[in-house]
Amino acid sequence: MLRDSDNDGGWRERQVAKLERIRNIAELAHLAGVSPGTVSRALSDSGMISAKTRERIKALAREYDFRPSAMARNLRIQRTGAIGVVIPLGHETGQHISDPFFMTMLGLLADALTERGYDLVLSRVIPAGDEWLDRIVDAGRVDGVIVIGQSDQSAALDRVAARYQPLVVWGGYVPGQVHCSVGSDNRLGGELATRHLIAQGCRRIAFFGDDRALEIAQRLEGCRAAMTAAGIGDQLTVFPAQLVAETTQPDIAEYLGEHAARPQGIVAASDVVAMRALRALAEFGIAVPDDVRVMGFDDLSIAAHMVPRLSTVRQDLDTGARHLIDALFRRMAGEVTESVVMAPEIVIRMSA
């Protein structure tokens, strides 16, 4: 039986077309009998075309299961919809992204970026030469870059920041630096931790941390200043404990075994280093805090679950992540932002 609609020469073509999805705006525009620009404006709810036309085009898009390409839209508005998060490992080439500090900060940044409709593109970089950051910012794959930690790469960060506006860094601040940083007052944090140990009767104090990284160097500076002020500066020992889990504990154990005059207090450059120190002390049968008192730095969630529970210097990472995101998006909008230095807070638990 022949239906009247069969006489319509375009009817069969439309039925065949319905079997397939519309692949791009040009095809949808052809089907709707309008220009691609009209389709684009209709799908973005532009007031430049009538409500009737908008609804007709949207109905066709739903019927043919058409979803505009986010990539194509981003190309039109000259944005990628992604933010690069970079972890440079210039002084700790064996460190892993699974480090509890990195995981905490990445989680906070990912949540905040998702709320703003952006994707996070993660890069773990072992710098080879001075242009590792240039390659990232010049690739055009992200709209801005957050660097977690300066490592020993402050000069590279300054050089790129002088020409690339949407760049912010989690780390320490020194007067005259070019890059915009967000972080804690590391020197004060090291000083607070050391003062507490001194107040608890510690005189021989060891600092565990690799001061090639700016943040750790500042923490050591604060530790040294507190001991000098107390008149016991000559009692400070510095052990360059690394942040790599596989090597930190054996190295600390070797250090403890080689020193007859063991420290009465330990200022660890991070909670991870402190955790390894606690384990090494336990293996030697050294009681914490009775024989040695231990202070960490960061106040990660693991600090309250160590045995004994770790005394530490708290960095407000939640607030820090918000500052990083706020500064980055303001810079993406063309603003100039100042570095942020947050006040640390000492948290006393069982280990000190």
Average pLDDT over residues 23-36: 83
The residue out of 33, 58, 75 marking a domain boundary is: 75
The pLDDT, as a whole number, for residue 260 is: 67
Contact 345, 179 (CB under 8 A): no
- Please indicate, yes or no, whether residues 179 and 218 belong to a single structural domain of this protein: no
Integer CA distances (angstroms), 123 to 99, 117, 176, 300, 325, in order? 15, 20, 27, 22, 17
CA distances for 1 relative to 4, 5, 6, 31, angstroms: 10, 12, 10, 28
pLDDT value, residue 351? 98
Final residue belonging to a domain, choices 23, 52, 75: 75
Q: Which pLDDT band holds residue 19 (cuts at 50, 70, 90)?
A: very low
- Residue 303 sits in the same domain as residue 226: yes
In a domain, 349, yes or no: no
Report the CATH number at residue 90: 3.40.50.2300
- The answer to the question of residue 351 being in a domain is no
pLDDT at 82: 93
**Token reading at 342:** 């947050």
Mean pLDDT of the chain: 87
Answer yes or no: do 309 and 323 share one domain: no
| Domain shared by 196 and 310, yes or no | yes
For position 55, which CATH number holds?
A: 1.10.260.40
Q: How many residues does the chain have?
A: 352
Find out whether 222 and 297 touch, Cβ atoms under 8 Å: no
Establish if 242 belongs to a structural domain: yes
Judged against a pLDDT cut of 50, whether residue 333 lies above it is answered with yes
Residue 199 predicted with pLDDT over 80: yes
In the chain, the percentage of residues whose pLDDT exceeds 90 is 62
pLDDT of residue 10: 55
Per the listing, tokens 């064996």 go with 94
131-183 pLDDT, tens digit per residue, is: 999 999 998 899 999 999 998 899 999 999 999 999 999 999 999 999 999 99
Contacts of 336 (CB under 8 A, 6+ apart): none
**What is the C-alpha to C-alpha distance for residues 340 and 146, in angstroms, rounded to an integer?**
14
Tokens linked to 38: 């009209």
For residue 47, is pLDDT > 80? Answer: no
Residues 193 and 291 in one domain: yes
Q: Is 1 a residue whose pLDDT tops 90?
A: no
Residue at 347 is within a domain: no
pLDDT digits (tens, 9 = 90+) for 105-118: 999 999 999 998 99
pLDDT, greater one: 322 or 74: 322
Looking at the fold, whether 210 and 308 belong to one and the same domain comes out as yes
Please give the Cα distance from 297 to 306 (Å, whole number).
14
| Residue 280 and residue 334 share a domain | no
- For residues 38 and 71, give the distance between their C-alpha atoms in angstroms, rounded to a whole number: 19
In a domain, residue 167? The reply is: yes
In this structure, what DSSP letter does residue 6 have?
A: G
Contact 179, 158 (CB under 8 A): yes
Start-to-end CA span in the chain (Å) = 92
Long-range (24+ apart) CB contacts under 8 A made by 75-78 are: 76/40
> 213 is written with which tokens?
């990284």
Q: Are residues 197 and 307 both part of a single domain?
A: yes
Mean of pLDDT values over 308-320? 97
Supply the pLDDT for residue 6: 46
Domain membership flag for residue 54: yes
Please check the confidence at residue 128 and state whether its pLDDT lies above 70: yes
pLDDT tens by residue, 230-285? 999 999 999 988 766 666 777 888 888 777 688 999 999 999 999 999 999 998 99
Q: Are residues 59 and 93 in the same domain?
A: no
For residues 294 and 288, the answer to whether their CB atoms sit within 8 Å is yes
- Say if residue 68 is in the same domain as residue 154: no
pTM: 0.77
Q: In terms of domains, do 301 and 321 share one?
A: no
* Angstrom distance (rounded) from CA 203 to CA 198: 6
Instruction: From 139, 140, 174, select the one nearest 157 (Cα to Cα).
Output: 174
Task: Report, as an integer, the average pLDDT of 186-209.
Answer: 97
Pair 177, 326 in one domain: yes
User: Considering the domain boundaries, does residue 139 fall inside one?
Assistant: yes
Gap between the Cα atoms of 147 and 350, Å rounded: 34
- Is residue 207 in a domain? yes
Q: What pLDDT is attached to residue 5?
A: 42
Q: Read off the pLDDT band of 16 (50, 70, 90).
A: very low
Domain boundaries, position 109: 82-184+317-342
pLDDT at 21: 63
CA 311 to chain centre: 24
Binned at pLDDT 50, 70 and 90, residue 288 comes out as very high
The pLDDT value given to residue 12: 44
Q: How many domains does the chain have?
A: 3
How many helices and strands (H and E) does the chain possess? 13, 12
pLDDT value, residue 250: 79
pLDDT, residue 76, reads 52
